[in-house]
Structure 1
Amino acid sequence: MQGANVRTLHVLAPAPVKAGPATAADDPNAPTVPVAPVQRRTPPDGYRRAIEAHRQAVRPSRVNPAIAEAVERQTAAMRELSRRAFPEPDVVPDDAPASIEVSRAQRRRQAAATEAAALRRARAERAAREAGTAVAVPQSAALRTTA
């Protein structure tokens, strides 16, 4: 039957499943069938050779060097922006860990600066609302953010 073509394909609906409480798991009188491990046949030699040849084939690189270079530039720029936005804390000499008290005092100072800036902004916004003008609140100092 060479040259035979498929002209139609009939897709059948799945067989209806019997719904109800009488299932094999619920029936205590149902015979139990021991589960045997699946025995797989050894694949033919031709199949194994084809798989091995496929694994050894070297795929040509599809990476455009210009795109790879642009990705590297973009990554470097993002790292620089991240470094500027979240600078590393001052390094303690000899890589000694900072004491807890110093860390707590630094956090308190940062929290106080943030609170003062928030109060200044809230006061300026309230004054602008009462005066009926647009809010123009300049940031006096850059605030650090933590994740």
Structure 2
Amino acid sequence: MAFDADTGRLDLAPDAPAYGTKLRWSAPQLITAVNSKVTDTTVRTLHVLPPAPGQARPAAAAPDLQPATPVASAERRTPPDGYHRAIEAHRQAAPPSRVDPGIKQAVERQTRAMRELSQRAFPDSELHSDSQPAPIDQARAQRRRQAATTEAAALRRARTERAAREASTAAAVPQPAALRTTA
């Protein structure tokens, strides 16, 4: 875009943000290349302007900054067949195990220790066969029975209270029984 000979600053305007990033990364190489091509000026810094795609660019301020040889356009070559075969072989190969053997052994030790603690804490778990329900299933069944009993008692009480309201006799309502607490 412009060159300031007093400060040695070369302003560049890329067409896309990616090109701007590439220019920033390759600034030292660009400065060296420009200084080797143009002998009467010295570029000290590059200033990459924000990209402005689609806008017309003014001609370079100094005609000396134009490269002596035309720049060849970068064409994308098709990769050779060997490259495709290598990629396919890589995809088919089983990925190496990323598990550290030491970590695997530690996990196995912890699993064994947890099983031993579980057997000590619940020693009767081996006494139950597959035909008998497990202790957790027995507890669930007992809770379901208790919930059904409580629901039936609540329905009986609600019917009795409704009947008493309809008859307008409060004396007919029985006193509630003491509730049991569960753990």
What TM-score comes out, normalization by structure 2 length? 0.24
Higher strand share: 2
What TM-score comes out, normalization by structure 1 length? 0.29
- Larger relative contact order (Cα-Cα within 8 Å, sequence gap ≥ 6): 2
- Which protein shows a greater Rg? 2
Higher helix share: 2
